[in-house]
Structure formats: structure tokens, C-alpha cells
């Protein structure tokens, strides 16, 4: 099986979707969940599923590199084939991205390359966009910049509230993230020199086939 370590900071609803997508025949094994916050609700979700949990708080480390080194040390005790960022809200160093090159996925709540960074739903609404969504991408040294593996694209409804849009994007995340992780575990999704590939097809920058 494909050993996976999941990094979280908060609610962990994407972690839950991943857990719920697994059964004994699944090629994915979530070996551990690591949070940078002790109060992340996702830790309780992991414990309820019998998954090892760890907390690594950034205070107490001299700098980002020292924090990332501590993270890597814990993650690598599980020898994961894949590391999954699921609402992990700390920027990781270039060294971290390089260490897990090709085996580090993130989910971001926008149609990348649009709206990297924070506050994506508000920015999409303020811009008057007709479409919004979420993206699963390989993590590279560039923040929210790595090759996209899959996106869900939603039509923004007239006068849609930010709460409703946020909920709908979340629901879409819970569909596409388990799918991308499964593809990776099956050896179908990989990072190649030219970008993300699904089977033998190079995915375009948008992640739409």
C-alpha cells in the first residue's frame, strides 16, 4: 500500500473525506496525522479513526528551517510514499518542498493559478468571477505554484453569499482530494519534468483534461 502522512492545522474536513474514502481494499494507508496546532479538531478525527497523531508547534523553533526539520523527522519515521497537506496553514520552506519533491500534494481553495494565498472566496466574489473552485496540486518551491493535478470548477450563483460559496467549494474538495490521492497511490498520477501526468497524459496547467 501507499503510506500517507497528512498535515493539518484546523478542522480537518478534507482529512475526514480521505478517511471516509478508504476501505481494506484501498491502496492508501494513512499512517499519521501531524498538526502545527494542538487544538486542531482534525486531531480528534484522526484519533477516532485510530491514526497516530503528532503536534509540532512552531514556537520553540529558532526559524522556519528548524521547524521544518522537526516536521520532516517525524514524517519520515513513517517512510511515506506521499505527504498530503490538508488545510496546513503554515508556509513550508523550499527545503521541505525539495525533500518531498514529487510526493507532496496540497489542496487550495481556488482555480489555480488564480488567487494564490489567502481569502480566495472573498477575492473571487469581489472580482465578479462567474466561476470558482479548488485545485489539488503538487507542491514545489513556489507558493501555491506547483503543477495542478485536478480541479473542481463551480459556477458562482447570482448574489451567492460567501458562506454558501465556501461550503460548496469545501464539498467539491472532499470529492477531488480523495480521488487525486487514490490516483497517486495507484501509480497513475505523478510529477514529471514537464508537469503533472495522469496515466500517460500531461495535464495542462489548469488541470482540466
Binding residues (CB under 6 A) for ligand GAR: these are: 8, 10-14, 42, 86-87, 107-109, 134, 170, 173
Question: CB of residue 81 vs ligand GAR: minimum separation in angstroms?
Answer: 21
Contacts of 91 (CB under 8 A, 6+ apart): 64, 143
The span from the CA of 18 to the CA of 12, in Å, is 10
The span from the CA of 2 to the CA of 13, in Å, is 21
Residue number with the shortest CB distance to ligand GAR?
87
The span from the CA of 45 to the CA of 127, in Å, is 35
Of 108, 121, 132, 174, the catalytic one is: 108
- Of 117 and 201, the one with the shorter C-beta distance to ligand GAR is 117
The span from the CA of 133 to the CA of 187, in Å, is 26
Question: CB of residue 11 vs ligand GAR: minimum separation in angstroms?
Answer: 4
Question: CB of residue 199 vs ligand GAR: minimum separation in angstroms?
Answer: 25
- Of 73 and 116, the one with the shorter C-beta distance to ligand GAR is 116
- The answer to whether the annotation marks 189 as part of a ligand binding site is no
> Any idea which residue has 499512517 for its cell?
31
Q: Are 181 and 103 in contact (CB under 8 A)?
A: no
- The answer to whether the annotation marks 64 as part of a ligand binding site is yes
| Residue 170 known to be catalytic | no
Residues recognised as catalytic = 108
Q: Which residues are annotated as a binding site for (6R)-10-formyltetrahydrofolate?
A: 64, 89-92, 106
Amino acid at each position: 500500500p501507499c503510506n500517507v502522512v497528512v498535515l493539518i492545522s484546523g478542522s480537518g474536513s478534507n482529512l475526514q473525506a480521505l478517511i471516509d474514502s478508504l476501505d481494506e481494499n484501498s491502496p492508501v494507508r494513512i499512517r499519521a496525522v501531524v498538526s502545527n496546532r494542538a487544538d486542531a479538531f482534525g486531531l480528534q478525527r484522526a484519533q477516532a479513526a485510530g491514526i497516530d497523531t503528532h503536534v509540532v508547534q512552531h514556537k520553540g523553533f529558532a526559524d522556519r528551517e528548524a521547524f521544518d526539520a522537526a516536521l520532516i523527522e517525524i514524517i519520515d519515521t513513517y517512510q511515506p510514499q506521499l505527504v498530503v497537506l490538508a488545510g496546513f496553514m503554515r508556509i513550508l520552506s523550499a527545503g521541505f518542498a525539495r525533500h518531498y519533491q514529487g510526493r507532496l500534494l496540497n489542496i487550495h481553495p481556488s482555480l489555480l493559478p488564480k488567487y494564490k494565498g489567502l481569502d480566495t472566496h472573498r477575492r473571487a466574489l469581489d472580482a465578479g468571477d462567474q466561476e470558482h473552485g479548488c485545485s489539488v496540486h503538487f507542491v514545489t518551491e513556489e507558493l501555491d505554484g506547483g503543477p495542478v493535478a485536478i480541479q473542481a470548477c463551480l459556477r458562482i450563483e447570482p448574489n451567492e453569499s460567501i458562506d454558501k460559496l465556501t461550503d460548496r467549494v469545501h464539498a467539491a474538495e472532499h470529492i477531488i482530494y480523495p480521488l487525486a490521492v487514490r490516483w497517486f497511490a495507484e501509480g497513475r498520477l505523478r510529477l514529471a519534468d514537464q508537469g503533472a501526468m495522469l496515466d500517460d497524459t500531461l495535464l495542462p496547467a489548469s488541470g482540466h483534461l
